[in-house]
Amino acid sequence: VTERKRMEESLRQSEQRYRTILEEMDEAYFEVDLSGNYTYVNDAISRLLGYPKEELLGTTFRKQVNEEDTALLYGAFGKIFTNGKPVRDISYKAIRKDGEVRYAEIAGFPIQNQKGEVIGFRGIGRDVTERKRSEEQIRHMATHDALTELPNRMMFGQLLNHAIQAAKRNKRQLAVLFTDLDRFKIINDTLGHEAGDLLLKTIAARFKQTLRATDVVARLGGDEFVILVEEVDNPGQLVTVAQKILSTAMKPVSLMGEECRVTASVGISMYPKDGKDEQVLMKTADKAMYFAKEEGKNNYQFYSEDMTSHSIEQLSLE
């Protein structure tokens, strides 16, 4: 009897240690049955989800999971059930009681009975929201222009490549509109870089607002912008876009108490007519834009082979 009591006390203390660890640790810990209903939750998961423990117990975990991640979690638990082995690094979006979305990362383990059958699951995880947001910020900084928040050259190149592949598959046309602001340097030199930056931010916001949501506007650097227009049916469609760009650029901007105006020169190249890859399309649009500048600025030009021969003539004259 004494030996049994000693073993029972040892077991009680062991369980107490186990419960203390679970309750005091920073990691979220939970147990669910095969239906996904909570059978045990610790304080950390209660804090993460914003629910008192009693509100979680007996309810399905689905309520606190972003809808698009539900299948992912069921898939992970299904794998644990089938293999009887843990699955780690399960990332999903958790929905708090107040509706706030938090990022969570968990590892799932099987709960087995004496026969080794899986009768439920236990999970241990943590709130990784700050890390995820930092990663998103770093990704955004790598792919977007810091001043205007528009996609940068690298991201535009990726988007254009994807668009070319889609156009190739669907036998569609697309266009690149290379846009350069006229007189920007004068304003930048006269009123200073702060005014120049404000002008670029204003023009960028106006371009984005004027064009369709499906059109991509990017800043390449300096006063150069580029626009991707997909699913082009005819050149007339691009004339409308180019005219929108010209009229948007011409609208006055108030800078340092001065009303300033700039104009734009736009060069247009079309896939597949003027180029079948990103590099050639960008090059031909750029050439057409320089031709628009030579033609007196504040206008648009479609790329043509004549421009290339014209450029060669200019080089030979120089």
> Could you give the residue numbers annotated as active site?
223
Between CA 29 and CA 279 the distance in angstroms is 52
> Within a 13 Å sphere around the CA of 196, how many CA atoms are in the beta-carbon half?
17
**Beta strand pairing call for 300-302 and 263-271:** parallel
Between CA 164 and CA 211 the distance in angstroms is 20
Q: End-to-end CA distance of the chain: give it in Å, rounded.
A: 109
Structure tokens at 151: 């996609």
Which long-range contacts does 48-52 make (Cβ < 8 Å, 24+ apart)?
48/94, 48/96, 48/102, 48/104, 48/127, 49/94, 49/96, 49/97, 50/96, 50/97, 50/98, 50/100, 51/97
